[in-house]
Amino acid sequence: EAGVTQFPSHSVIEKGQTVTLRCDPISGHDNLYWYRRVMGKEIKFLLHFVKESKQDESGMPNNRFLAERTGGTYSTLKVQPAELEDSGVYFCASSQFRGGNTEAFFGQGTRLTVV
């Protein structure tokens, strides 16, 4: 069974440009999460989808970030326009359930560098 896959693995863009990150969760996982790790700091929650609905977007830094999950399958995270402080590793995770001892499976991350 395929794990969580993210594309691209690396992206280098200039400040002011737009970047779209993609996440394909494990098939059948209704819960999809986006996280970000800025260098030297902890991995931080961005938002949580249940199927196509945003359950919790409390971690989204500002309105330059837009996440979608049309059809409840894959998700995209768009940053427009990108700023230098957006650099970091963006992780996607998925889980079948969201409570109890449910395991969350992570993708390998997209390393975004804004120059």
Residues contributing to the site for another protein (CB under 8 A): 3-4, 9, 31, 33, 35, 41-45, 48, 50, 55-56, 58-59, 91, 93, 95, 98-109, 111
CB of 98 to another protein, least distance (A): 4
DSSP state of 70: G
Q: Which is nearer to another protein, 13 or 50 (CB)?
A: 50
CB of 56 to another protein, least distance (A): 5
Q: Which is nearer to another protein, 88 or 107 (CB)?
A: 107
CB of 99 to another protein, least distance (A): 6
Q: Facing residues of 105 across strands?
A: 94
Q: Which is nearer to another protein, 17 or 45 (CB)?
A: 45
Alpha-carbon span 1 to 69, nearest angstrom: 21
CB of 100 to another protein, least distance (A): 7
DSSP state of 18: -
Q: How far is CA 92 from CA 7, 12, 16, 46, 110, in A?
A: 10, 19, 24, 10, 9
H or E element in which residue 95 lies: strand 88-95
